[in-house]
A and B are shown apart, each in its own frame.
Chain A
Amino acid sequence: MIGTANMQHELKQLYRKWPDIRRYLKTLGCDSVGAEDIFQEALLIYIRKHESSEFELTVEPFFYVRNTCKLLWYNQARKEQKQLSTELHENIEAAEEVWFEKEMKIREVESTLEKLGAQCQELLQLFYGLGWNMVDIAKKIGLRNDKVAKAQKYRCLQKAKEMIQEHEQLVEPIKA
Chain B
Amino acid sequence: METNWNQLIERYLQNELSEEGKNAFEQELQFNPELREELEMHQLIQSAAKRASQRNMIRQTGKMYLRNLRIKQFAVGVVVTTLTAAGIVYWIQTKHKSNTSLTENVSANSEVHASERNRSAVRIDNQPNQSGGKSSLIQPTDWQMAKETDFRSKTTLTGLKSAHSDFPQEVNGNAVVKGQGTGSSGDSLPAPKPTVAILGYTNDKLKGEVIETKVLNGAMDKNLLWIQKYDSVGKFNDLYCGYALVMDKAKFGFVDPEGKIFIPIKYDQIVVTTNIKSSKQKNKRQKKKVLYIPKRSGKDVKDCEEANGKISNEWIAY
Contact = CB atoms under 8 A, between A and B. Distances in A.
B61 A106 contact: no
B10 interface: yes
Interface stretch (A27-35, A36-44, A54-62, A82-90): A36-44
Contacts of A8: 57, 61
A126 B53 contact: yes
Interface in B43-66: 44-59, 61-62, 64-65
Nearest to A7: B57
Interface string A156-174: 0110110010000000000
Interface string A67-102: 000000000000000000000000000000000000
Interface in A1-34: 4, 7-8, 11-12, 15-16, 18
Contacts of A161: 38, 41-42, 45
Contacts of A157: 6, 10, 42, 45
Given A113-B45, A164-B45, A44 B65 contact: no
Interface residues of B, number: 28
A54 to B, nearest CB: 17
B7 interface: yes
A168 to B, nearest CB: 10
A154 B61 CA distance: 31
B45 A124 contact: yes
Given A7-B57, A125-B53, A106 B62 contact: no
B302 to A, nearest CB: 77
A129 B49 contact: yes
B52 A110 contact: yes
Given A126-B53, A157-B6, A158-B3, A15 B65 contact: yes
Given A11-B58, A15-B61, A129-B53, A110 B48 contact: yes
B52 A129 contact: yes
B47 A106 contact: yes
A102 B47 CA distance: 11
A109 interface: yes
Contacts of A152: none
Nearest to A165: B41
A48 B307 CA distance: 101
A44 B55 contact: yes
Contact of A154 (B7, B38, B46): B7
B58 A107 contact: no
B2 interface: yes
B134 to A, nearest CB: 59
A16 B50 CA distance: 24
B49 A127 contact: yes
A7 B44 CA distance: 23
Contact of A48 (B10, B45, B46, B54): B54
B44 A109 contact: yes
B58 A128 contact: no
A79 B154 CA distance: 82
Interface of A: 4, 7-8, 11-12, 15-16, 18, 36, 40, 43-44, 47-48, 105-107, 109-110, 112-114, 121, 124-130, 154, 157-158, 160-161, 164
Given A8-B61, A36-B62, A47-B54, 5 more contacts: A4-B57, A44-B55, A48-B51, A106-B44, A109-B45
12 contacts: A12-B61, A36-B62, A40-B62, A43-B58, A48-B51, A110-B52, A114-B52, A124-B49, A129-B52, A154-B6, A154-B7, A160-B45
* Top-8 shortest CB links A-B: A129-B53, A125-B53, A124-B49, A109-B48, A128-B49, A110-B48, A15-B65, A11-B61
